[in-house]
Amino acid sequence: PRGAHLRTDNELEIARVETTQLAARFATPAYVLDEDDIRARCRAYRAALPDVEIAYAGKSLMCRGVLRIIAEEGLSLDVCSAGELAVARSIGFPAERILLHGNVKTAEDLKAALGYGVGRVVIDSLDEIHQLGALTTTAQPVLIRVTPGVDGSTHHAITTGVDGQKFGFSLADGAAERAVARVLAEPGLRLVGLHCHIGSQITRVAAFEEAARRMVGLLALIRDLHGVVLRQLDVGGGHGIPYLPGETEFDLTGFANRLRCAVNYESGRRRFPVPALTIEPGRSIVGPAGVTLYRVAVVKRGATTFVAVDGGMSDNPRPALYGARYTVRMVGRPSSAPLVPVTVVGRHCEAGDVLAEVDLPADIAAGDLLAVAATGAYHYSLSSNYNAVGRPPLVAVRDGVARLLVRRETEDDLLARDQG
Q: Is 283 annotated as a binding residue?
A: yes
Q: Residue 89 or residue 239: which is nearer to ligand LLP going by CB?
A: 239
User: Rounded CA gap, 311 and 34, in Å?
Assistant: 21
Judged by CB under 6 A, does residue 237 bind ligand LLP? Answer: yes
Q: Residue 157 or residue 298: which is nearer to ligand LLP going by CB?
A: 157
Judged by CB under 6 A, does residue 201 bind ligand LLP? Answer: yes
Q: Is 322 annotated as a binding residue?
A: yes
With contact defined as beta carbons under 8 Å apart, do 306 and 341 qualify?
Answer: no
Binding mask 320-339 for ligand LLP (x = CB under 6 A): --x-----------------
- How far CA 160 is from CA of 166, 195, 197, 310, in Å, comes to 8, 12, 7, 34
Q: Is 281 annotated as a binding residue?
A: yes
Judged by CB under 6 A, does residue 158 bind ligand LLP? Answer: yes
Span of 103-111, 197-205, 261-269, 391-399 interacting with ligand LLP by CB under 6 A: 197-205
Beta-bridge partner residues of 144: 123, 194
DSSP state of 30: E
Q: Is 243 annotated as a binding residue?
A: no
Question: Of the candidates 37, 177, 186, 280, which one interacts with ligand LLP according to CB under 6 A?
Answer: 280
DSSP state of 349: S
With contact defined as beta carbons under 8 Å apart, do 276 and 293 qualify?
Answer: no
Judged by CB under 6 A, does residue 238 bind ligand LLP? Answer: yes
Single-letter code of the amino acid located at 221:
L
Q: Is 280 annotated as a binding residue?
A: yes
Q: Residue 183 or residue 364: which is nearer to ligand LLP going by CB?
A: 183
Span of 55-63, 111-119, 265-273, 393-401 interacting with ligand LLP by CB under 6 A: 55-63
User: Rounded CA gap, 261 and 54, in Å?
Assistant: 18
Instruction: Of 204, 102, 217, give the one whose Cα is nearest residue 151.
Output: 204
- How far CA 205 is from CA of 60, 160, 335, 368, 374, in Å, comes to 21, 16, 41, 40, 21
User: Rounded CA gap, 192 and 141, in Å?
Assistant: 6
Question: Of the candidates 105, 197, 214, 295, which one interacts with ligand LLP according to CB under 6 A?
Answer: 197
Q: Which of 42, 63, 261, 349 is catalytic?
A: 349
State yes or no: is 261 an active-site residue. no
How many chain residues are in contact with ligand LLP, going by CB under 6 A?
Answer: 23
Footprint of ligand LLP on 65-94 (CB under 6 A): 78
What is the per-residue DSSP string for 363-420? T--TT-EEEEES-SSSSGGG---GGGPPPPPEEEEETTEEEEEEPPPPHHHHHHT---
Q: Is 327 helix (H, G, I), strand (E, B) or coil?
A: coil
Q: Where would I find the H helices in 91-185?
A: 107-116, 126-135, 175-184
Question: Of the candidates 105, 182, 214, 283, which one interacts with ligand LLP according to CB under 6 A?
Answer: 283
- How near is the Cβ of 381 to ligand LLP at its closest, in Å? 8
Judged by CB under 6 A, does residue 152 bind ligand LLP? Answer: no
Question: Of the candidates 65, 193, 281, 312, which one interacts with ligand LLP according to CB under 6 A?
Answer: 281
User: Rounded CA gap, 106 and 81, in Å?
Assistant: 8
With contact defined as beta carbons under 8 Å apart, do 320 and 352 qualify?
Answer: yes
Judged by CB under 6 A, does residue 376 bind ligand LLP? Answer: no
Q: Is 274 helix (H, G, I), strand (E, B) or coil?
A: coil
Q: Residue 208 or residue 272: which is nearer to ligand LLP going by CB?
A: 208
Known catalytic residues? 349
Which residues of this chain interact with ligand LLP, rule CB under 6 A?
A: 57, 59-60, 78, 101, 158, 197, 200-201, 236-239, 280-284, 318, 322, 377-378, 382
Annotated binding site: 238, 280-283, 318, 322, 350, 378
